[in-house]
A and B are shown apart, each in its own frame.
Chain A
Amino acid sequence: MPTLSVDRVSLTYRSKRGPVAALADVSLAVASGEIVVALGASGCGKSTLLGLMAGFLKPSGGAVTVDGVPVSGPGTDRAVVFQDDALMPWLSAEDNVAFGLQMRGVAQAERRAAARDMLAQVGLAGCASHAIHEMSGGMRQRVGLARALAVKPDFLLMDEPLGALDELTRERMQMLVLNLWQTSGKGIFLITHSIEEALFLSTRLVLLSPRPGRIVQRYDTGFARRFIAGEPVRTIKADPDFLAMRDDLSSAILANAAEDAIDVG
């Protein structure tokens, strides 16, 4: 049961217009079997936090570790899913999913079989030879998910994976994410702008404040587990508890935004 820990991490970008403090003193842990969601306004450092966890970025202070071992760069134990799918458009769906296995030197027949298996798990059975540019946004995100899961990571890091999808597709994808979470037992870190999505897709939730990003609220949420236990999505999202927490979060975000505005003004 590995745990991915972010311990008192800060990050300051050096840009042409001087230093930009993106994150300050953020601590967070994601264990297997958890979905931790980061919620926050645009520019508050969510992608930066994910980049640190993935190993794309090095913290200016603090440490990112997996079971106590410092993260030194990207690795297949921490697969990433992006909003703009970041697929290889010249490869077929199955070759995209098989990409990680190809990097390991797995033979073509074997990795394609594994890829088709993963595609079936994300609801794309029969789409193995499809070209990426023939696929809808929802289908591409499924391919991105399958590609990440194909390397059998311990953690799945997702940066607004459903941000570009329409409402209907989005809800179906939310359910897919929860089903995959349950069958795979991975630890998931997910970023979103949507309060409703954050509540529905999390076991824990952190709210980030803008510039520099700090964790201003932490919540334990039970809605993801309730969905897995068999409660219908509509019932969960209409539950008084769900609605109350949603309002609570909206006010918290507004309050932080107002503070920010006062800081700036």
Chain B
Amino acid sequence: MSADRASGHGAATALSLGAVFAIWWGATASGLITPLFLPGPGDVALRLIDLAQHGFVGATLLQHTGASLARVGLAMLFAVITAVPVGMAMGLYPRINAAIDPLIEFYRPVPPLAYLPLMVIWFGIGELTKILLIYLAIFAPLAIATASGVRRVDPNRIRAAQSLGASRDQIAWLVIFPSALPDILTGLRIALGVGWSTLVAAELVAATRGLGFMVQSASQMLVTDVVVAGIFVIALIALLIELVLRWVERRFAGWASAG
């Protein structure tokens, strides 16, 4: 992309964000919209500072955010540890794929919030339920991305490694896994996006801490500025997760997009 085009894109982005912000500010400052319905940018900014310092419903902003991130982090960790080997096995062995793929395809299209009630019945409203929910949301796309990445590996690359004396395990972990890594990381990025929005929604239903819980409580108490501030934080973290994973993709799988 040329520098000209890039700066043109930047200008378009700034213009659209600026316009939304200006309308928001204009509508609230002029008194056209009451603060209960939508507080102004200034109120929301002040509320953010207050949330950071004094918190809301028994925890500071940092604690709410930490609770949400910890759940997603744990779920992601377990998902990576399990979905990558399962996906590798599915990609390598058609028989294993035939056994596991239908199970994944059965639950994957169901929105996690649809089976949340069942999980609450089974596992209660504690941490286990929420982490398991996110885990399931991440597992399916990650396993599928891994399996398809494994299937796309150049067969000659595997043959070359065999002729160089690589064992089965060496081929799996030193040839096939790194070959599939770009697909795995893309799968993880998409899965985490889904996982994060699922988590926040799950916290609306059952939690005592977390960003979703904070927003939900504020809404019930009609504290609209906390609702808006909470939405901003949720969006910001989603953006940060996306950026971090893009960096990881460039760092560890940059060879796939370059030349």
Chain A interface residues toward B at CB < 8 A:
54-56, 73-76, 78-80, 82, 84, 86-90, 99-100, 102-104, 131-134, 147-148, 151
Size bin of chain B's contact surface: 20 to 34
Instruction: Verify B163–A80 contact, CB threshold 8 A.
Output: yes
- Closest CB of chain A to B102's CB: distance in Å? 23
Instruction: Verify B159–A56 contact, CB threshold 8 A.
Output: yes
Given contacts A89-B255, A89-B256, contact A74 B159 (CB under 8 A): yes
In the complex, A87 Cα to B164 Cα: how many Å? 12
Chain B interface residues toward A at CB < 8 A:
154, 156-157, 159-167, 170, 174-175, 178-179, 181, 253, 255-256, 258-259
Cβ–Cβ < 8 Å partners of B253 in chain A = 90
- Closest CB of chain B to A118's CB: distance in Å? 13
- Closest CB of chain B to A78's CB: distance in Å? 6
Given contacts A82-B156, A88-B175, contact A100 B165 (CB under 8 A): yes
B158 and chain A: residue at smallest CB distance: A86
Cβ–Cβ < 8 Å partners of A55 in chain B = 162-163
In the complex, A89 Cα to B180 Cα: how many Å? 12
Cβ–Cβ < 8 Å partners of B160 in chain A = 80, 82, 86-87, 147
Cβ–Cβ < 8 Å partners of B159 in chain A = 54, 56, 74, 80, 82, 86
Instruction: Verify A75–B163 contact, CB threshold 8 A.
Output: yes
Given contacts A74-B162, A79-B163, A88-B157, contact A103 B170 (CB under 8 A): yes
Cβ–Cβ < 8 Å partners of B163 in chain A = 54-55, 74-76, 78-80, 148
Instruction: Verify B255–A132 contact, CB threshold 8 A.
Output: yes
Given contacts A88-B157, A89-B255, contact A103 B166 (CB under 8 A): yes
Most buried by A among B157, B160, B165: B160
Cβ–Cβ < 8 Å partners of A82 in chain B = 156, 159-160
Cβ–Cβ < 8 Å partners of A73 in chain B = 162
- Closest CB of chain A to B150's CB: distance in Å? 15
In the complex, A102 Cα to B164 Cα: how many Å? 9
Q: Which one of B154, B164, B179, B255 contacts A103 once the chains associate, using CB atoms below 8 Å?
A: B164
